[in-house]
Amino acid sequence: MTGAAGGRERGFALLIVLWTLVLVALIVSHMVAAARQETRLAANLRAEAELGAVADGGVHEAIFHALDKSAAHWAADGVPHRIASRRASLEIRIRSEAGKVNLNNAPAELLVALLRETGVDPGAAEGIAVAIVAWRARPGQAPSMAAAYRQAGRGYEPPNAPFESVRELGDVLGVTPAILGRVAPFLTVYHDGDVDPAAAEPTVLRAVEDVYGQMPAPGRAEPDESVVQVNVTATMGLARAGREAILRLGPASGGKLYQVMTWDNAP
């Protein structure tokens, strides 16, 4: 009996030791996995910061070439410029804001036509155009839509003031994220004149023709480059970073040769 009891005790002790070893192995494995995950996370954060700096450098590269009046000048024509280095590559495009429809002074008919050209249902396009005009109109210049915003559960009303950015259009009644994504590339708040045919995308040209019957002939061979949009895509392996900037070129305050209107991350 004593021998059998002693054997059971030794077996039980061995089982405890084995379970202890398994537990220690699991703890060590978890610690190693956590350390590897933290290492990868730190590496990803470093690569993201590095790639973001490369993308910002691409905007500065675009500014340099946009201001350069020599043969190295980059026109605001949307043509991609590619720069490759050992670690990363850049694609840079410069477009004139003069080829876009101004969100603050375009007539409702042109807004409807542009929305329809970007795939918005005609009925929805007319409702959105009315809401845009009401948003930017001074008090008394357009019917108030405050009640409609309250009924839609919005916690705000139209400000009766000009749009400060194209992104603000997303707050207008009827404008979904999908609609904003489709129409935003063809809108601006920085160019007050008529659409410049030399700088306009086909979508904008068709909208203008729908309203006015024809597009006036370009007054100049090259696009107006007083205000431009710069789009930069930086890639490093499978990682990528984007920047979008609106720049006013020419003498600015403080003796600068340009003025940054916006500078944002982009997909």
pLDDT of residue 242: 95
Average pLDDT on 161-181 reads 96
Average pLDDT on 20-35 reads 77
Query: Where does 101-190+192-212 sit in CATH, by number?
Result: 1.10.40.60
Helix, strand, or coil (residue 258): strand
Condensed to tens digits (0 to 9), the pLDDT of residues 94-138 reads: 999 999 999 999 999 999 999 999 999 999 999 999 999 999 998
pLDDT of residue 119: 96
According to CATH, the topology of domain 53-98+224-266 is Pantoate--beta-alanine Ligase; Chain: A,domain 2 (3.30.1300)
The dihedral over CA atoms of 159, 97, 185, 144, expressed in degrees to the nearest 10, equals 20
Q: At what angle do helices 108-117 and 122-136 cross, to 10 degrees?
A: 140
What residue segments make up the domains of the chain, in order of their start?
53-98+224-266, 101-190+192-212
Q: Is the pLDDT of residue 58 over 60?
A: yes
